[in-house]
Homo-oligomer: A and B are copies of this chain.
């Protein structure tokens, strides 16, 4: 039995020996990924889609995603494209098939770190601006801003190192 290539029919195998209990575990995992995403300020459905692709690496068709996760096609469109834009999943096409397919990206976690890095760089810009526009007499303020910049510089460096360590 191959769960991977028949992702679309897993939910129909209720009566199977491994079926019910394992199905519970899978849906719970996907649901937890949704909640976890929501905690991180990401749409719940994006988290569920990500979880779905952890379980079934893909390729999975657009229509399959909507049916399996029981979400509207509009939500599939929005969230899958959003995840693809982040480099976490990627859109592919299959010859002789008009549908869009998605599959897990090769290294989804590296992309997640890269998103963090972007956020940190935005914060560094804010700190730079503050440093420029706040009068020099405010020594203690500038000292705290400098401390903050050192922190973000170190954090950026640590995450770049992490990317290298996890890379090929």
Give me the interface of A with B, judged by CB distance under 8 Å. Answer: 1, 3-4, 18, 21-22, 24-26, 28-29, 32-33, 36, 39-41, 54-57, 104, 109, 113, 119, 122-123, 126, 129-130, 132-135, 137-138, 140-141, 144-145, 147-148, 150-151, 154-155, 158-159, 161-162, 165-166
Task: Tell me the interface secondary structure of chain A in the complex.
Answer: helix
Closest to A155 in B: B162
Whether A3 lies near B141 (C-beta < 8 A) is yes
**Would you give 18 A-B contacts (Cβ < 8 Å), ordered by A?**
A3-B137, A4-B138, A4-B141, A18-B137, A25-B133, A28-B129, A29-B130, A33-B126, A39-B119, A41-B41, A57-B144, A104-B144, A109-B151, A154-B162, A154-B166, A158-B158, A158-B162, A158-B165
5 closest Cβ contacts across the A-B interface?
A: A25-B133, A41-B41, A29-B130, A109-B151, A22-B135
Closest to A123 in B: B36
Name the residue in A54, A104, A113, A145 with the highest tally of chain B Cβ atoms < 10 Å from its Cβ.
A54
Whether B29 lies near A129 (C-beta < 8 A) is yes
Query: Complex formed: what's the CA distance from A165 to B158 in Å?
Result: 10
